[in-house]
C-alpha cells in the first residue's frame, strides 16, 4: 500500500470513562475514597451525565464518527443482583443520541471503579466477581446490544492490579505481590467468562448486533536504559515481547500464563475479537543484576536520559514513535487493533497539536506497512477527573471550566478535525 491517507471507514474519535466525566457516582469505591479527603473529590466532574447531548454535539462538530464511553456498573447494579431500569434507560438515551448523530459507540464495562457492595466483598480478590462481572456483561448485551457493536470488557486490567494491589496507591490500597497476581488472573477469568456470555446473549436475543469484544490494554514502549548494557537490552526486550503481551496471549490461548507465577487452563480460547491499545509513553528499563531475579528488570525514572522527549504535566515522556512500535508488536495476533486511548495532559495547546500530528504520522506508517488498525480514539474528549491526580491535568480536546461547566473547543481539536475530514495529515 502506498497511499498516504488513512483508510476509508476508519474509526475516528475520542474516549471518556464514566467516573471521570459523569459526576455524582455515589455508589462506587472511588467515591468512597474521595470522601476521606485524601484526594480531590470527583464531585460533579463534567456533569456529562446531564450534558451528554451538548458533548456529543461537539464531538460531531469535530468530525468524530466514533466515541468510547463507559457505563457505570455501580449505577446499574446498586445492590447485588438488583438492576436499576432507570439507569439502563439513561444509557439507552445516551447511546441513542450517539446513533442519531451517526457516531459509533464503543462501550467500556469496567473502567477502574467497582460498585460498593462488590468492593465490600473484596472486589477483584473475591472469585465471586467472575460471575458478577460476566452477568453484568451479559445484561449489557441484552439491554444495549441492539445499539452497540463494540465492547471493551475491562480497561487496563494489569495497570489497575499493579497500582491498586501492589503499589497500594488506589483502592483497595493493597501492597502485595500475591494479591496483584490473583487479581490479574481474576480479571482475565472475568473477561473470558464475559466474552462467552456476551456472544451467547447476542445469539439468543433478536435484533442484537454481533458483538466485537475486546479489552483496552495499557501499553508502553520499552527501551533499554543503556544501549550498551546487554542486560538492560534483554530486560527491555522481554518486557515488550512477553510481559506486556501476557494478558492478551492468555485470553487467546485459553491458558492463563503470568510468568513465572501462574499457569492455569481457562474454560475458553480466543476470547478477543479486537485488541484495544492505550498508548501514552516510553519506559526505560534497567537491570543491574542480570543473573538473579526479575528478568524484566526495573523501570528507571528516565530523568537523566538526555535524548528523552518533552514531558507532559503528569511527567509522561512524549514519544510518538512508540505508537508505531506497540502497534507493530501487537499486530502479530492478526486481530483488528483500535487505539482506544492516546493523549497528553498539558496546558500548552500547541504541544497537543504537535502530539496529535506526530502520533498520527507514526500510526499511518504502521497502517501503510500492513498493521490492521481500525481506529484512533484520543484521550480525551473533555478535560476530566484524572483519578488521584484530580482536576489539575488537562487531557481534553475540549477545555472544561468546572465552575460554570462551560465547554471551549481547543485549536488542537480543530486540527484533529481537519485530519479526520481529509484522512490526511497536514
Ligand atoms: C489511562 C486511563 C484513563 C486516563 C488516562 C490518562 O491509563 O485508562 O482513565 O486516566 O490514563
| pLDDT given at position 100 | 98
Q: Whose CA is nearest to atom 10 of ligand 1?
A: 386
What is the number of the ligand 1 atom nearest to the C-alpha of 159? 7
Q: How far is the CA of 219 from the centre of ligand 1 (A)?
A: 12
Residue 53, pLDDT > 90, answer yes
pLDDT tens digits along 292-347: 678 899 999 877 887 889 999 999 999 999 999 999 999 999 999 999 999 999 99
| pLDDT given at position 18 | 98
Cis peptide upstream of residue 48 (ω within 30 degrees of 0): no
Return the CATH number at 85.
3.20.20.80
What is the number of the ligand 1 atom nearest to the C-alpha of 386? 10
Q: Whose CA is nearest to atom 4 of ligand 1?
A: 386
Asked if residue 5 is part of any domain, the answer here is no
Asked if residue 6 is part of any domain, the answer here is no
Q: How far is the CA of 338 from the centre of ligand 1 (A)?
A: 16
Q: How far is the CA of 326 from the centre of ligand 1 (A)?
A: 17
Percent of the chain beyond pLDDT 90?
93
Give the dihedral of Cα atoms 121, 126, 127, 130; nearest 10 deg.
Answer: 70
Mean pLDDT of 398-408: 98
| pLDDT given at position 307 | 81
Overall number of domains in the chain: 1
Probe target for ligand 1 pocket from 387, 388, 389, with the most ligand atoms within 8 Å of CB: 387
CA 265, CA 58: separation in Å to the nearest integer?
46
Residue 289, pLDDT > 80, answer no
Residue 290, pLDDT > 80, answer no
What is the number of the ligand 1 atom nearest to the C-alpha of 395? 6
pLDDT tens digits along 234-252: 999 999 999 999 999 999 9
Q: How far is the CA of 267 from the centre of ligand 1 (A)?
A: 30
Alpha-helical segments (H) within 156-295: 157-165, 177-204, 230-241, 246-253
Kindly indicate the confidence band of residue 275, based on its pLDDT and cuts at 50, 70 and 90. very high
Q: How far is the CA of 265 from the centre of ligand 1 (A)?
A: 30
- Residues 51-63 as b/e (b if ≥16 CB within 10 A, e otherwise) read bbeebbebbbebb
Asked if residue 1 is part of any domain, the answer here is no
Q: How far is the CA of 202 from the centre of ligand 1 (A)?
A: 29
Kindly indicate the confidence band of residue 173, based on its pLDDT and cuts at 50, 70 and 90. very high
Probe target for ligand 1 pocket from 341, 352, 355, 392, with the most ligand atoms within 8 Å of CB: 341
Please report where in the chains the cell 504537535 appears, as a residue.
354
C-alpha cell of 14?
A: 475520542
Contacts of 186 (CB under 8 A, 6+ apart): 124, 125, 127, 129, 130
Q: Please, what is the end-to-end C-alpha distance for the chain in angstroms? A: 20
| pLDDT given at position 151 | 98
Query: Taking a C-beta distance cutoff of 8 angstroms, is the pair 188, 266 a contact?
Result: yes
Q: How far is the CA of 416 from the centre of ligand 1 (A)?
A: 20
Asked if residue 319 is part of any domain, the answer here is yes
Alpha-carbon 302 to chain mean position: 24
| pLDDT given at position 85 | 98
Collapsing DSSP states into helix, strand and coil, what is residue 193? helix
pTM (predicted TM-score):
0.97
| pLDDT given at position 3 | 74
Q: How far is the CA of 71 from the centre of ligand 1 (A)?
A: 16
The residues lining ligand 1, judged by C-beta closer than 6 Å to any ligand atom, are 17, 20, 155-156, 159, 218, 278, 341, 379, 386-387, 395
CA 80, CA 272: separation in Å to the nearest integer?
27
Name the residue among 137, 146, 179, 150 with its Cα closest to residue 162.
Answer: 179
Contacts of 277 (CB under 8 A, 6+ apart): 216, 217, 219, 326, 327, 330, 337, 338, 339, 340, 341
Residue 254, pLDDT > 90, answer yes
DSSP string of 76-106, one letter each residue: H-SBTTB--HHHHHHHHHHHHHHHHTT-EEE
DSSP string of 19-67, one letter each residue: HHHS---TTBHHHHHHTTTSS---TTTT-HHHHHHHHHHHHHHTT--EE
| pLDDT given at position 306 | 78
Asked if residue 3 is part of any domain, the answer here is no
Q: How far is the CA of 118 from the centre of ligand 1 (A)?
A: 22
What is the number of the ligand 1 atom nearest to the C-alpha of 155? 8
User: DSSP secondary-structure letter at 286?
Assistant: E
Probe target for ligand 1 pocket from 16, 18, 20, 278, with the most ligand atoms within 8 Å of CB: 278
Q: How far is the CA of 26 from the centre of ligand 1 (A)?
A: 20
What is the number of the ligand 1 atom nearest to the C-alpha of 20? 9
When the pLDDT of each residue in the chain is averaged and rounded to a whole number, the result is 96
Asked if residue 2 is part of any domain, the answer here is no
CA 69, CA 21: separation in Å to the nearest integer?
10
Residue 203: count of CB within 10 angstroms of its CB = 10
Q: How far is the CA of 412 from the centre of ligand 1 (A)?
A: 20
Residues 231, 237, 239, CA angle at the centre, nearest 5°? 105
Kindly indicate the confidence band of residue 1, based on its pLDDT and cuts at 50, 70 and 90. very low
What is the number of the ligand 1 atom nearest to the C-alpha of 345? 6
| pLDDT given at position 305 | 86
Q: Which of 56-60, 182-186, 202-206, 213-217 has the lowest mean pLDDT?
A: 202-206
Mean pLDDT of 177-195: 97
Asked if residue 300 is part of any domain, the answer here is yes
| pLDDT given at position 120 | 98
Probe target for ligand 1 pocket from 216, 379, 388, with the most ligand atoms within 8 Å of CB: 379
pLDDT tens digits along 5-32: 999 999 999 999 999 999 999 999 999 9
Q: What percent helix, strand, coil does the chain show, rounded to 5?
A: 40, 20, 40
Residue 291, pLDDT > 80, answer no
Residue 261, pLDDT > 60, answer yes
Q: Which of 297-301, 393-397, 406-410 has the lowest mean pLDDT?
A: 297-301
| pLDDT given at position 260 | 76
- Residue-range definition of the domain harbouring residue 46: 11-422
Percent of the chain beyond pLDDT 70?
99
Name the residue among 389, 393, 218, 235 with its Cα closest to residue 300.
Answer: 235
Mean pLDDT of 74-92: 98
Asked if residue 198 is part of any domain, the answer here is yes
Contacts of 38 (CB under 8 A, 6+ apart): none
Amino acid at each position: 500500500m502506498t497511499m498516504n491517507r488513512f483508510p476509508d471507514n476508519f474509526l475516528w474519535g475520542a474516549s471518556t470513562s464514566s467516573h471521570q466525566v459523569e459526576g455524582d457516582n455515589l455508589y462506587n469505591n472511588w467515591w468512597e475514597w474521595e470522601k476521606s479527603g485524601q484526594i480531590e473529590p470527583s464531585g460533579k466532574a463534567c456533569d456529562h451525565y446531564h450534558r451528554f447531548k451538548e458533548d456529543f454535539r461537539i464531538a460531531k462538530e469535530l468530525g468524530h464518527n466514533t466515541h468510547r464511553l463507559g457505563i457505570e456498573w455501580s449505577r446499574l447494579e446498586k445492590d447485588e443482583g438488583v438492576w436499576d431500569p432507570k439507569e439502563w434507560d439513561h444509557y439507552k438515551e445516551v447511546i441513542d443520541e450517539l446513533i442519531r448523530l451517526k457516531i459509533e459507540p464503543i462501550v467500556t464495562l469496567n473502567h477502574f471503579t467497582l460498585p460498593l457492595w462488590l468492593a465490600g466483598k473484596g472486589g477483584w480478590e473475591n472469585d465471586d466477581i467472575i460471575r458478577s462481572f460476566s452477568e453484568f456483561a451479559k445484561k449489557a448485551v441484552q439491554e444495549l446490544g441492539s445499539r452497540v457493536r463494540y465492547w471493551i470488557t475491562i480497561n487496563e486490567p494489569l495497570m489497575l492490579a499493579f497500582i491498586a494491589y501492589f503499589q497500594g496507591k488506589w483502592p483497595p490500597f493493597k501492597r502485595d505481590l500475591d494479591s496483584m497476581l490473583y487479581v490479574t488472573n481474576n480479571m482475565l477469568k472475568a473477561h473470558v467468562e464475559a466474552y462467552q456470555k456476551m456472544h451467547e446473549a447476542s445469539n439468543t436475543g433478536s435484533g442484537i448486533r454481533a458483538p466485537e469484544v475486546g479489552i483496552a490494554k495499557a501499553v508502553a514502549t520499552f527501551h533499554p536504559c543503556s544501549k550498551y548494557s546487554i542486560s538492560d537490552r534483554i530486560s527491555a526486550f522481554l518486557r515488550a515481547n512477553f510481559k506486556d503481551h501476557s494478558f492478551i496471549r492468555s485470553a487467546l490461548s485459553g491458558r492463563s500464563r503470568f510468568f513465572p507465577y501462574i499457569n492455569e487452563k481457562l474454560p475458553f480460547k480466543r476470547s478477543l475479537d479486537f485488541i484495544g491499545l492505550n498508548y501514552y509513553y516510553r519506559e526505560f528499563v534497567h537491570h543491574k543484576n542480570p543473573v538473579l531475579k526479575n528478568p524484566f528488570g526495573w523501570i528507571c525514572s528516565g530523568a537523566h536520559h538526555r535524548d528523552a522527549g518533552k514531558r507532559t504535566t503528569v511527567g509522561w515522556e512524549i514519544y510518538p514513535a512508540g505508537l508505531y512500535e506497540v502497534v507493530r508488536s501487537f499486530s502479530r495476533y492478526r486481530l483488528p487493533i483500535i487505539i482506544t486511548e492516546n493523549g497528553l495532559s498539558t496546558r500548552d495547546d500547541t504541544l497537543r497539536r504537535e502530539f496529535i500530528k506526530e502520533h498520527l504520522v507514526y500510526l499511518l506508517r504502521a497502517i501503510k506497512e500492513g498493521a490492521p488498525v481500525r481506529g484512533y480514539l484520543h484521550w480525551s474528549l473533555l478535560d476530566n477527573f484524572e483519578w488521584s491526580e484530580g482536576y489539575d491535568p488537562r487531557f481534553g480536546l475540549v477545555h472544561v471550566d468546572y465552575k460554570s461547566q462551560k465547554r471551549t473547543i481547543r485549536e488542537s481539536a480543530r486540527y484533529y478535525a481537519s485530519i479526520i475530514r481529509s484522512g490526511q495529515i497536514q
